[in-house]
A and B are shown apart, each in its own frame.
Chain A
Amino acid sequence: GIQVEQSPPDLILQEGANSTLRCNFSDSVNNLQWFHQNPWGQLINLFYIPSGTKQNGRLSATTVATERYSLLYISSSQTTDSGVYFCAVNYAGKSTFGDGTTLTVKP
């Protein structure tokens, strides 16, 4: 099956700092999503981005499908950005999730 690797596994930032999270995947996929799981366990869809670049406020994402990776950028981080960020790739109907990046933003 498809392998999804996320890096770094853990990230600690001071409020206001910027960060880049990476997602590598092992094969061609139909689509890719980024999620934020907050400390209460709620899974929030951030981007659906099979290719190209999208921006939403302080967050943006870029997927280079031909090179099998995606990047999530967080600028001017806030304490509410803390949580686990998952990348999920979809092929043949089911999504395969990476193990996530745990982000802690300190005030």
Chain B
Amino acid sequence: NAGVMQNPRHLVRRRGQEARLRCSPMKGHSHVYWYRQLPEEGLKFMVYLQKENIIDESGMPKERFSAEFPKEGPSILRIQQVVRGDSAAYFCASSPRYSGRQETQYFGPGTRLLVL
């Protein structure tokens, strides 16, 4: 059973470009979470999604960031008009159901975004 997959693993963008990060959850998992790790810091929650629904986006910046988890295909984290401060590692996690009911979140390898 393949783990959580993220691609690309490394992404370089120039200021003003768009970044698209993809996350394929583990087989059978319908819940996806995105976290951001700025340099020298811990991971911070961004958004929690189920298929076709955003459950909690309290950690998402108000502008330029969006996330989706369509019925078919991977979850996408989209950053428009990137700035240097967006440079970070973006981790995706998945769980088979609501993690509050004592389900472990399984983390992917992360996408490292560098904005020049």
A residues within 8 A CB of B112?
A: 41
Report A50 CB to chain B, min CB distance, Å: 6
A residues within 8 A CB of B103?
A: 31
* Count of chain A residues with a beta carbon within 8 Å of a chain B beta carbon: 23
Interface string of B14-45 (1 = CB under 8 A from A): 00000000000000000101010000011111
A35 within 8 A of B: yes
Would you list which residues of chain A between 17 and 37 have a CB under 8 Å from chain B? 30-31, 33, 35
Q: A43-B107, A86-B42, A86-B43 are in contact. Are A93 and B102 (CB under 8 A)?
A: no
Q: Are A90 and B99 in contact (CB under 8 A)?
A: yes
A residues within 8 A CB of B110?
A: 41-43
Report B2 CB to chain A, min CB distance, Å: 15
Would you list which residues of chain A between 26 and 64 have a CB under 8 Å from chain B? 30-31, 33, 35, 41-43, 45, 48, 50
Interface string of B51-85 (1 = CB under 8 A from A): 00001101100000000000000000000000000
* Count of chain B residues with a beta carbon within 8 Å of a chain A beta carbon: 29
Q: A45-B107, A95-B33, A95-B105 are in contact. Are A30 and B100 (CB under 8 A)?
A: yes
Q: Are B89 and A94 in contact (CB under 8 A)?
A: no
Q: A33-B105, A35-B107, A41-B112 are in contact. Are A95 and B35 (CB under 8 A)?
A: yes
B residues within 8 A CB of A75?
A: none
Docked complex Cα distance between A35 and B109 (Å): 13
A100 within 8 A of B: yes
Q: Are A92 and B89 in contact (CB under 8 A)?
A: no
Docked complex Cα distance between A30 and B99 (Å): 8
B residues within 8 A CB of A31?
A: 99-100, 102-104
Q: Which residues of A contact B (CB under 8 A)?
A: 30-31, 33, 35, 41-43, 45, 48, 50, 86, 88, 90-100
* Seed contacts A33-B105, A92-B100, A95-B45; 6 additional CB < 8 Å A-B pairs: A30-B102, A31-B100, A31-B102, A93-B33, A95-B33, A97-B42
